[in-house]
Amino acid sequence: MPKLKTKVRASTTIKRTVKSEEEPKSLRDRNKDNANSIQRSWYHLSKDLVETYDSDIYSRDWGFNTFREYVENELRLDYRLAMWRVGMGRTIIKHGITEKQVMSINWTTFKEISHLFTDDTTTAEVTEMLKGVENKSYQEVQSYVKDEKTKRLGGTLTRQVKMLFKLSDEQAVCVEKAIAGAMRLADTDNHSVGLEYLCNEWLMNNNPELAAEIKSRLAKDVPAPKTKYREYANKGKAKANATK
C-alpha cells in the first residue's frame, strides 16, 4: 500500500513591532516647550526654571554666560518675567502645590495670591486660598491680598520703601546670586527678606580689610563715572595749574 504524502505546514512566527517608550524630555527641551506655551505651562516652567537657575546648568552644559543670557536668547523670555517664574517655582516646591490645584487660575493670579503664603502657612490654608481665587478677577485678587495683609498687621499698613539701583550685567549677576543664596539660607521665597538677611550678615560680620581690598580693586578696574561736576572740577584744576 503506497504511503500517503502529508504536507507539513511550517509554523510561522508573527513578528510584532513593539513601539519603544519615548524617552523623557531633557530639562532644556522642557523649558523650550513650556516657554512657547507660557499661559498653559507656567506651572511646569516655574518648577523647572528653579532647577535651571540653582544648578548653573545653563553655563556649565549649555554654553551661556548668565541665566539672563539663557532666558532671553533661547527661551525668548523677558528676564524679569523669568525671575518671577523662579520665585513662583520656589513657592510651588516649598508648599507642595500640585498642578491640579492651580489648573483653574492663571499665573498672574497665582503670583499675587502667593504673597500671602508664609513659612507658617499650612497646606490646608494654601489649598483654601487657591480655591478662593479661582473665579476672581486679577483686580479682585489684588484687593483681597491687600485686605488680608492689613488684617495680619492688625489693621495698619507698614510703610514700604521702593529702592532702585542701576547695575551692570556683572554686578546684577553677583547681586542675584547673593540674594538667592540668602533666601535659601533663610528658608524663604521673599526677595526682600533675602536682601535684609544679606545686609544683617554684613553688619554683623563685615571685614574692613576685605572691604578695603575690594574698594582698591574696583578703583583700578572700574573707571569713575563722568559727571558734569567732575568735568567742571577737572577744568577748574587745569585752569589753576595753568596760572601757577
Q: What is the mean pLDDT of the chain?
A: 79
Evaluate whether 133 touches 141 at the Cβ level (below 8 Å).
Answer: yes
Q: Is the CA virtual torsion 169, 173, 178, 183 positive or negative?
A: positive
Euclidean distance between CA atoms 160 and 166, whole angstroms: 20
Interval 179-226: pLDDT, tens: 888 888 777 777 877 888 788 777 777 777 777 777 777 666 655 444
Interval 110-138: pLDDT, tens: 999 999 999 899 999 999 999 999 989 88
**For the chain, what is the largest distance between any 2 Cα atoms, rounded to a whole number of angstroms?**
144
> 210 vs 82, which has greater pLDDT?
82
Q: Considering the chain, what percentage of its residues have pLDDT values greater than 90? A: 34
pTM of the predicted structure, to 2 decimals = 0.55
Evaluate whether 71 touches 101 at the Cβ level (below 8 Å).
Answer: no
Q: Which residues contact 194 (CB under 8 A, 6 or more apart)?
A: 179, 180, 182, 183, 186, 188
The terminus-to-terminus CA distance of the chain in angstroms comes to 144
Give the model's pLDDT for residue 242.
54
pLDDT surpasses 60 at 236: no
Q: Which three cell numbers stand for residue 53?
A: 537657575
